[in-house]
Amino acid sequence: MSSEQPARFLDRSTPPHVVTLVLMAGLSAAAMNLFLPSLPSLAAHFDVEYGTIGLAVGLYLAVNAPMQILIGPLSDRYGRRAITLIGFAVFVVATLGCILAPNVEVFLLMRMLQATAVAGIVIGRAVIRDVVSNPDDAASMIGYVTMGMALVPMVAPALGGVLDTYFGWQATFVALLIMGMAMLTLVWADMGETFTPRPITLAKQFSEYPELFRSRRFWGYALISGFSSGAFFAYLGGGPKIGEEVYGLTPAMVGAFFGMPALGYMMGNFLSGRFSGRLGLGRMIFAGTYTVSAGMLLALFTTSLNLGHPLAFFGPMVLLGLGNGLVIPNATAGMISVRPHLAGSASGLGGAIMLGGGATLSMIAGNLMDHGAAERPLLLLMLASSVAGIVTMLYVRHVDRKEAAATA
């Protein structure tokens, strides 16, 4: 990862190996995706409406937002390693709580606590910025890491569907429990510290947030990431109900089709890793935002043909994943490079903005499904979010041009 500090696997005196970074981020992705095919089963188990159990997605995302705001500065203050270990330990306890929950209220509370797994994503990005100084190169590194992570949401829904079908919804959380314990062990054995903790109080650390707030480029990159991924989070909130009620799919089949965006996401991240350093952040982000919007337009067209096949809805979601794979690594590299000494805080705050918007869209999508499962309202919501990403990127380009002219 850096010539000065080459990563050696299972050596705590060096930065974490790229495999560890991939798996750190993958745990949070698994916590989001593995149980999605079980949403109808959970609603039946707790005897609640689908929109209520859909809060397991929305609340998880909503807690992710303030969690990232907290985790970023904590890792700048106390170091990357300690905060990662604490986050994963809390995740393990919360997952056990989900399995043993006596009612939906306790289940949703434990589900919210599972959001501490996001430490893997927040701190993983900060670690990359610690050891890779050039923003375009950092975007490439993030692209390669998230390309590997993309395998998780590709496989997790299918695995979750099989576990739910044959063993019940609790089995999906048992799988998450095993993953959490394994990751806690791996981070302990492999993750060396990459950041010298700053000798300031935590209150002082938080007081530096206005430095990020004043950066129009930071807000631009954060909102681009939020709008682009918002289309995906809306898909998370409404897609399972469409698969079950519109196309009559079993949980296992929902899981298999639900992984379509992950195929595109992996390809997009590969392209980011391959070309971001050469083409630059701006071009890659524009390509991604246009790709997401094109995917939503294609889905509106294919579902309007009334073919009755689930690929009419799920097939175009490959473009949703492809576009996000181009946008997110590059927008993230832009966010954390605005103020390098606040890389952890920028990673946390930017992720919070992204997931806060995602939580809102996910809950809106879930409520739309309570009024009748239909593709068109959900796709229009996803299209509106993706178009907003294009508009925001045009604003960032305008800011870049003004700043370049001012320094010329």
Concatenating the DSSP letter of every residue in 174-227 gives HHHHHHHHHHHHHHHHH----S---SS-HHHHHHTHHHHHT-HHHHHHHHHHHH
Per-residue confidence (pLDDT) for residue 245, from 0 to 100: 84
* pLDDT recorded at residue 290: 95
pLDDT given for residue 388 in this prediction: 93
Contact indicator for 208, 345 with CB cutoff of 8 Å: yes
**pLDDT confidence of residue 372:** 64
Give the pLDDT mean for 14-22: 87
List Cβ<8 Å contacts ≥24 apart for 404-407. Answer: none
Question: Over 90: is that where the pLDDT of 195 sits?
Answer: no
Confidence of residue 205 (pLDDT cuts 50, 70, 90): low
- How far apart are the C-alpha atoms of 297 and 368, rounded to whole Å? 19
In this model, does residue 190 exceed pLDDT 50? yes
Q: What is the pLDDT of residue 86?
A: 95
Per-residue pLDDT tens for 30-66? 888 888 888 888 998 999 888 788 888 878 877 877 8
Contact 390, 328 (CB under 8 A): no
CA nearest to 61, candidates 351, 346, 373, 269: 351
Bigger pLDDT: 216 vs 132: 216
Q: How confident is residue 2, by pLDDT bands cut at 50, 70 and 90?
A: very low
Q: Which residues of 22-56 are buried (b: 16+ CB within 10 A; e: fewer)?
A: bbbbbbbbbbbbbbbbbbbbbbebbebebbbbbbb
User: What is the pTM assigned to this prediction?
Assistant: 0.69
Is residue 378 within 8 A of residue 368, CB to CB? The reply is: yes
Give percent of the chain above pLDDT 90. Answer: 30
DSSP result, 286-313: HHHHHHHHHHHHHHHHHHHTT---THHH
Rg (CA), the chain: 20
Triad 103, 40, 235: Cα angle to 5° = 115
Domains in the chain: boundaries? 18-407
Percent of the chain clearing pLDDT 70 (strictly above): 90
CA gap 88, 118 in Å, rounded: 9
Average pLDDT along the chain: 84
Give the tens place of pLDDT for each residue, 247-299: 888 877 887 787 788 788 888 988 988 888 788 888 999 999 999 999 999 99
pLDDT at residue number 1: 41
Question: For 306, which DSSP code?
Answer: T
Average pLDDT over residues 97-118: 94
Region 98-112: mean pLDDT is: 95
3-state secondary structure of 172: helix
- Which pLDDT tens digit goes with each residue over 302-326? 999 988 899 999 999 999 999 998 9
Looking at domain 18-407, which CATH architecture does it have? Up-down Bundle (1.20)
**Residue 338 structure tokens:** 């605005």
Please say whether the beta carbons of 329 and 280 come within 8 A. no
